[in-house]
Amino acid sequence: MENIKQNNQKKWWKNIVVYQIYPRSFADSNGDGIGDLQGIISKLDYLEQLGIGAIWLSPVCKSPQDDNGYDISDYQDIDPMFGSLEDMERLIAEADKHQIRIIMDLVLNHSSDEHRWFQEAKKSRENPYHDYYIWRDGTEEVVPNDMKAAFGGSAWEWVPQIGQYYFHQFSVKQPDLNWENPKLRREIYDMINWWIEKGVKGFRLDVIDQIAKEPDRHITNNGPRLHEFLRELSKETFQRADLVTVGEAWGATTKLAKLYSNPDNSELSMVFQFEHICLDQIKGKEKWDLAPLPFIELKRVFARWQKELYGQGWNSLFWNNHDLPRIVSRWGNDEKYRVESAKMLAILLHGMQGTPYIYQGEELGMTNVKFKIDEYRDIETRNLYQERLEKGYAKEDIMRSIYAKSRDNARTPMQWNDEKYAGFTQGTPWIGVNPNYREINAANQIQDKESIFSCYQTLIRLRKEYPVFVDGEFELLAEKDPALFAYTRTNADAQVLVICNFFEKTIDCAIEPDRSMQLLVSNYNDEGQRKTLRPYEARIYYKLR
Contact residues for ligand TEU, defined by CB under 6 A: 67, 70, 107, 150, 170, 206-207, 250, 287, 322-323, 380, 407
CB 117 to ligand TEU: min, Å: 17
CB 25 to Ca ion: min, Å: 11
Whether 216 sits among the annotated catalytic residues: the reply is no
Q: Which does 36 bind (CB under 5 to 8 A by kind): Ca ion, ligand TEU, none?
A: Ca ion
3-state secondary structure 396-437: HHHHHHHHHHCHHHHCCCCCCCCCHHHHCCCCCCCCCCCHHH
**First vs last C-alpha separation in the chain:** 16
CB 236 to ligand TEU: min, Å: 22
What's the DSSP call for residue 75?
E
Q: According to CB under 5 A, which residues from 96 to 135 bind Ca ion?
A: none
Q: Which does 107 bind (CB under 5 to 8 A by kind): ligand TEU, Ca ion, none?
A: ligand TEU
Q: Calculate the dihedral angle through the C-alpha atoms of 11, 14, 17, 21, rounding to the nearest 10 degrees.
A: 70
Q: Which is nearer to Ca ion, 34 or 207 (CB)?
A: 34
* 89 Cβ neighbours under 8 A, 6+ residues apart: 198, 199
Q: Which does 56 bind (CB under 5 to 8 A by kind): ligand TEU, Ca ion, none?
A: none
d(CA 278, CA 294): 11
Q: Pairing relation of β-strands 355-359 and 484-490?
A: unpaired
Ordered DSSP codes for 232-244 = HHHHHTGGGTT-E
CB 37 to Ca ion: min, Å: 9
Q: Are 292 and 328 spatial neighbours (Cβ–Cβ below 8 Å)?
A: no
Mask for 20-59, x = binds Ca ion (CB under 5 A) = --------x-x-x-x-x-----------------------
Q: Which is nearer to Ca ion, 21 or 533 (CB)?
A: 21
What's the DSSP call for residue 355?
E
Q: Give the CB-nearest residue to Ca ion.
A: 36
Q: Which does 150 bind (CB under 5 to 8 A by kind): Ca ion, ligand TEU, none?
A: ligand TEU
CB 322 to ligand TEU: min, Å: 6
Q: Which is nearer to Ca ion, 80 or 292 (CB)?
A: 80
Q: Pairing relation of β-strands 202-205 and 244-248?
A: parallel
- Provide the β-strand partners of residue 19: 55, 358
- Provide the β-strand partners of residue 56: 20, 103
d(CA 62, CA 77): 6
CB 238 to ligand TEU: min, Å: 20
Q: Pairing relation of β-strands 164-167 and 156-159?
A: antiparallel
Q: Are 53 and 2 spatial neighbours (Cβ–Cβ below 8 Å)?
A: no
Q: Which is nearer to Ca ion, 87 or 481 (CB)?
A: 87
Question: By C-alpha distance, which of 518, 520, 512, 511 is closest to 544?
Answer: 518
Q: Which does 34 bind (CB under 5 to 8 A by kind): ligand TEU, Ca ion, none?
A: Ca ion
d(CA 67, CA 217): 27
d(CA 69, CA 110): 12
Q: Which is nearer to ligand TEU, 113 or 380 (CB)?
A: 380
- Catalytic option among 206, 209, 267, 323: 206
Q: Which is nearer to ligand TEU, 287 or 299 (CB)?
A: 287
Q: Which does 529 bind (CB under 5 to 8 A by kind): Ca ion, ligand TEU, none?
A: none
Query: Which sign, positive or negative, has the C-alpha torsion 186, 23, 248, 9?
Result: positive
The 164-167 sheet, strands edge to edge: 135-137, 164-167, 156-159
CB 206 to ligand TEU: min, Å: 5
Q: Which is nearer to ligand TEU, 8 or 281 (CB)?
A: 281
Q: Are 273 and 257 spatial neighbours (Cβ–Cβ below 8 Å)?
A: yes
d(CA 519, CA 115): 55
Q: Which is nearer to ligand TEU, 287 or 388 (CB)?
A: 287
Stated as kind and residue range, the H or E segment containing 174 is none
Write the single-letter amino acid at 335: E
- Catalytic option among 248, 340, 362, 537: 248
Residue 427 binding Ca ion, by CB under 5 A: no
Write the single-letter amino acid at 539: R
d(CA 299, CA 310): 17
Q: Which does 32 bind (CB under 5 to 8 A by kind): Ca ion, ligand TEU, none?
A: Ca ion
Q: Which does 67 bind (CB under 5 to 8 A by kind): Ca ion, ligand TEU, none?
A: ligand TEU
CB 169 to ligand TEU: min, Å: 8
Whether 308 sits among the annotated catalytic residues: the reply is no
Q: Which is nearer to Ca ion, 77 or 475 (CB)?
A: 77
Q: Which does 349 bind (CB under 5 to 8 A by kind): Ca ion, ligand TEU, none?
A: none
CB 97 to Ca ion: min, Å: 23
d(CA 385, CA 371): 13
The catalytic residue positions are 206, 248
Binding positions for Ca ion, rule: CB under 5 A: 28, 30, 32, 34, 36
